[in-house]
Amino acid sequence: MPLRFGNQGHGGLLVLMALAAVMLYAASRTAAGALARGLVGRPGLRAVGYWLPIAVTAVIAVQQKKPEVAVALAFSTSVASLSFVLGILTYVAPMETPAASRRAWPFVLPAALLALVAGFSGQLTGLHALAMLILGGAVYSAWREAAARGEAEAIVSAIEAAPAPRPPPWVVVAELALALALAVLGGWAAVALASRAAATVPLVSTRLVAVALVTPLLALPMLQTVPPEQAPAHTSSMASTLVAMVLLNLCLLLPVLTIYWHLQTGIAHAAPAVAGAKGATLFMSVTAHATPMPFPLATWRIDAVVLTVLGLALVPIALGRWELGRWEAIGLVAGYALYLALSAAVSLRT
């Protein structure tokens, strides 16, 4: 039976899913690998590699006028990182010593609370974006201060015992460019998958596809295997990487998406009225015609609340008052399964 890419072609959905899976996985591993080889022990920067496909996919969703997919990805990938990924890594090898940058982990809680408060209005405005960016600046300062204190990451000593030659800068740049190209292709396939699945599969929404299908594709590359003797140190370093990625989602990606949506809607509505206008007149017209980015009710009721709970749980861990063991890891994975079930129930009802 030939594959059809129209609204009724379920074979086309499988092709899009396979394309998104391969491209997003390759983009994430390529970008993270390129940064990790030259930036070992700096999880805040290594997180950018894992975050790149998430950001590209969300931007493509906004460009395709699917804000519910973009907002859902920013939250669902954050929840998956702090529950499913961290739970699996901790169960396999509980961390021995928390990372030095753990002093910045409690910032996940105010970032999640800020998003939760923004959700009461059902939209993300320029004021919300500004507040998130300001918080992101504070997070960046705290993270750099923690790193500057000279507390070495456990994984640094484990890997530096057998140092590997670093690639030249042009190789790293080429790998990042390749990762970006793969992320664009995979992000397009993921957004097309969400749109077409919602149009062809009964009771399935674009948000549900983003949460249940696209998010696991973006989270799987973070589950790397390492030699057993390096596993506890790897878990410690990856915990900081995951927290950094969540903060990038909340304090950078969400504001960027909000601003992009404002500009996109403002230009679309203002263009007929101010054709040929320039400078301040054009800016004021675009600003006046811009509309806030929708904050889906399901994402606010489920994702934002779950992320706030996870941010609260990070506080005693960062302060050294609570250690993550295998039982906590089981709870995190079970909590993620419950989160998926609730997301499906809410999406199917709406």
The pLDDT score that the predictor gives to residue 103 is 79
Find how far residue 127's CA is from the centre of its chain. 22
The pLDDT score that the predictor gives to residue 72 is 95
Report whether 129 contacts 258 (CB < 8 A).
Answer: yes
Task: Of 20, 59, 45, 342, give the one whose Cα is nearest residue 211.
Answer: 342
77-89 pLDDT tens trace: 999 999 999 999 9
Task: Of 261, 249, 311, 310, give the one whose Cα is nearest residue 286.
Answer: 261
Cβ atoms within 10 Å of 64's Cβ, excluding its own: 16
177-194 pLDDT tens trace: 999 999 999 999 999 999
The pLDDT score that the predictor gives to residue 149 is 55
The pLDDT score that the predictor gives to residue 330 is 94
- 276 is written with which tokens? 């040929």
Residue 269 sits at φ, ψ, to 5 deg, of: -85, -30
Classify 323 in phi/psi space as left (phi over 0), alpha (psi -120 to 50) or beta: beta
By CB atoms closer than 10 A (0-12, 13-18, 19+), residue 261 is buried
Task: Kindly report the pTM of this predicted structure.
Answer: 0.87
The pLDDT score that the predictor gives to residue 4 is 44
The pLDDT score that the predictor gives to residue 44 is 57
The pLDDT score that the predictor gives to residue 266 is 79
> What does pLDDT average to in each consecutive run of 10 residues of the chain (350 residues)?
46 86 92 72 72 96 94 96 94 78 86 93 91 91 66 42 60 88 95 90 86 92 76 81 93 95 79 54 64 90 94 89 88 95 76
Q: Is CATH 3.20.80.10 the classification given to domain 10-349?
A: no
Between the alpha carbon of residue 19 and those of residues 51, 205, 304, the distances in Å are 19, 20, 29
Task: Of 89, 78, 106, give the one whose Cα is nearest residue 324.
Answer: 89
